[in-house]
Amino acid sequence: MKVITIPEEVFRTLDLQSYYDDIGLVPTMGFLHEGHLSLVRRCRKENSICVVSIFVNPIQFGQGEDLGSYPRDMNRDLELLEKEKVDFVFAPEPSAMYSPQFSTFVEETDLSTGMCGSSRPGHFRGVCTVVLKLLNIIRPSRAYFGEKDYQQLQVIRRMTDDLNLPLEIVGCPIVREEDGLAMSSRNMYLSPDERKSALLLNRALSRARDLFEKGERSGTVLERTVRDILNSDRKVDCEYVCVKDAASLKDISRINREAVIAIAARVGKARLIDNIRIQP
Amino acid sequence: MKVITIPEEVFRTLDLQSYYDDIGLVPTMGFLHEGHLSLVRRCRKENSICVVSIFVNPIQFGQGEDLGSYPRDMNRDLELLEKEKVDFVFAPEPSAMYSPQFSTFVEETDLSTGMCGSSRPGHFRGVCTVVLKLLNIIRPSRAYFGEKDYQQLQVIRRMTDDLNLPLEIVGCPIVREEDGLAMSSRNMYLSPDERKSALLLNRALSRARDLFEKGERSGTVLERTVRDILNSDRKVDCEYVCVKDAASLKDISRINREAVIAIAARVGKARLIDNIRIQP
Contact yes or no for A136 and B164 at CB 8 A = yes
pLDDT band for position B7 (50/70/90)?
confident
- Pick the closest to residue A209 from A197, A223, A192 (CA basis): A223
Kindly list the residues from chain A whose CB atom is less than 8 angstroms away from the CB atom of residue B162. Answer: 99, 102-104, 133
Determine the pLDDT at residue A6. Answer: 75
**Average pLDDT, integer, range A109-125:** 95
pTM metric for this prediction: 0.94
C-alpha dist (Å) from residue A249 to A80, A111, B113: 35, 6, 33
Can B123 be counted among the known catalytic residues? no
C-alpha dist (Å) from residue B236 to B141, B181, B230: 40, 14, 6
**Average pLDDT, integer, range B42-48:** 95
Which pLDDT tens digit goes with each residue over A3-29? 877 777 675 555 555 555 688 999 999
Tell me the three state secondary structure of residue B180: coil
Q: What is the distance in angstroms between the CA of the first residue and the CA of the last residue of chain A?
A: 45
User: Which among A17, A99, A158 is the nearest to B103, CB-wise?
Assistant: A158
Which pLDDT tens digit goes with each residue over B97-118? 999 999 999 999 999 999 999 9
Please check the confidence at residue B18 and state whether its pLDDT lies above 60.
no
Domain layout of chain A by residue ranges: 2-172, 185-278
Tell me the three state secondary structure of residue A61: coil
**Average pLDDT, integer, range A107-114:** 96
Cα atoms in the 13 Å half-sphere on the side-chain side of A173: 3
Contact yes or no for B103 and A137 at CB 8 A = no
Which pLDDT tens digit goes with each residue over A188-212? 999 999 999 999 999 999 999 999 9
Determine the pLDDT at residue A20. Answer: 53
C-alpha dist (Å) from residue B88 to B9, B24, B27, B54, B91: 12, 10, 12, 11, 10
Determine the pLDDT at residue A4. Answer: 78
Asked if B106 has any chain A CB less than 8 Å from its own CB, the reply is yes
Task: Compute the nearest-CA separation of B237 from chain A (Å).
Answer: 32
pLDDT band for position A1 (50/70/90)?
confident
**Average pLDDT over chain B, rounded to an integer:** 93
Gyration radius from chain B CA atoms:
19
Which pLDDT tens digit goes with each residue over A56-85? 999 999 998 999 999 999 999 999 999 999
Please check the confidence at residue A52 and state whether its pLDDT lies above 70.
yes
**By percentage, how much of chain A surpasses pLDDT 70?**
96
Determine the pLDDT at residue A262. Answer: 98
Contact yes or no for A107 and B110 at CB 8 A = no
For residue A167, the chain B residue with the least C-alpha distance is B136
Determine the pLDDT at residue B139. Answer: 87
Q: CB neighbours of A104 closer than 8 A, spacing ≥ 6? A: A129, B106, B107, B108, B109, B128, B158, B159, B162, B163
**Average pLDDT, integer, range A95-99:** 94
Is B30 in contact with B160 (CB distance < 8 Å)? Answer: no
Kindly list the residues from chain A whose CB atom is less than 8 angstroms away from the CB atom of residue B165. Answer: 136
Which pLDDT tens digit goes with each residue over A250-264? 999 999 999 999 999
For residue B11, the chain A residue with the least C-alpha distance is A166
Kindly list the residues from chain B whose CB atom is less than 8 angstroms away from the CB atom of residue A111. Answer: 103
Provide the sign of the torsion angle of the four alpha carbons A8, A12, A13, A17, taken in this order: positive
Topology of domain A185-278, CATH: Pantoate--beta-alanine Ligase; Chain: A,domain 2 (3.30.1300)
A148-152, B136-140, B175-179, B214-218: least confident range? B136-140
Determine the pLDDT at residue B21. Answer: 63
Determine the pLDDT at residue B13. Answer: 57
Contact yes or no for A105 and B103 at CB 8 A = no
Kindly list the residues from chain B whose CB atom is less than 8 angstroms away from the CB atom of residue A137. Answer: 164
Topology of domain B2-172, CATH: Rossmann fold (3.40.50)
**Average pLDDT over chain A, rounded to an integer:** 93
DSSP A48: S
| Disruptive mutation site among B53, B104, B151, B161 for chain A (greatest number of A CBs within 10 Å) | B104
Determine the pLDDT at residue A174. Answer: 98
Kindly list the residues from chain A whose CB atom is less than 8 angstroms away from the CB atom of residue B129. Answer: 163
Which pLDDT tens digit goes with each residue over B192-245? 999 999 999 999 999 999 999 999 999 999 999 999 999 999 999 999 999 999
Determine the pLDDT at residue A159. Answer: 98
DSSP B71-112: ---HHHHHHHHHHTT-SEEE---HHHHS-TT--EEEEE-STT
Asked if B108 has any chain A CB less than 8 Å from its own CB, the reply is yes
For residue A18, the chain B residue with the least C-alpha distance is B18
**By percentage, how much of chain B surpasses pLDDT 70?**
96
ipTM, two decimals, is 0.93
Determine the pLDDT at residue A81. Answer: 96
Determine the pLDDT at residue B199. Answer: 97
User: Which among A104, A133, A248 is the nearest to B158, CB-wise?
Assistant: A104
Neighbours of B138 (CB within 10 A): 25
